[in-house]
Amino acid sequence: MTRSRLTIGWSRTVAAGWALMAICLACVGASSQIIGRPTWWADDERWSTPIVSVFVVVVFGAATAIAVWSFFRRPFTPFVSTSGALLLGASALADADSSPGSAVVTAALATAALLLSIGSFSGLDRTRPIAAE
């Protein structure tokens, strides 16, 4: 079971990366709202306020959950992180028509998250557990 966990250094690196990803997503959402071309999850003209609130919590909750998952060295972190990066890429595709500038930035963030996830596979713990005698 230890082989599915990241080393301490890599788990902290992935956690910091996803915490920063959440901050970047907040900046993308706020700036797209200011310029009048909001992202799909922050569009208060398309969705009602409660629905926008749920979308915002889901988007930031996912990034924060991945960061916390990694910080506590939970198993299968590289796979969880890769899934989050792919979902972020899907979010960029959803914004391609309505908010192309935000879609480009979100795609860049998804690429960075995917590279972080791919790199984290090298940080899987390769130590063998001591056999019980």
**Under 8 Å between Cβ of 22 and 83:** no
* pLDDT tens, position by position, 53-99: 898 889 889 999 999 999 998 889 999 999 999 999 999 999 999 99
Show me where the domains of the chain are located. 2-123
pLDDT value of position 131: 60
**For the purposes of burial, counting CB atoms within 10 Å of the CB of 72, is it exposed (0-12), middle (13-18) or buried (19 or more)?**
exposed
Q: What whole-number distance in Å separates Cα of residue 133 and Cα of residue 126?
A: 21
pLDDT value of position 132: 58
Q: What average pLDDT does this structure show over 123-128? A: 78
Q: What sign does the dihedral 102-106-107-109 (CA atoms) show?
A: positive
pLDDT value of position 2: 52
* pLDDT tens, position by position, 6-34: 999 999 999 999 999 999 999 999 999 99
Whole-prediction pTM value?
0.86
Residue 125 scores a pLDDT above 90: no
> What letter does residue 124 receive in the DSSP assignment?
B
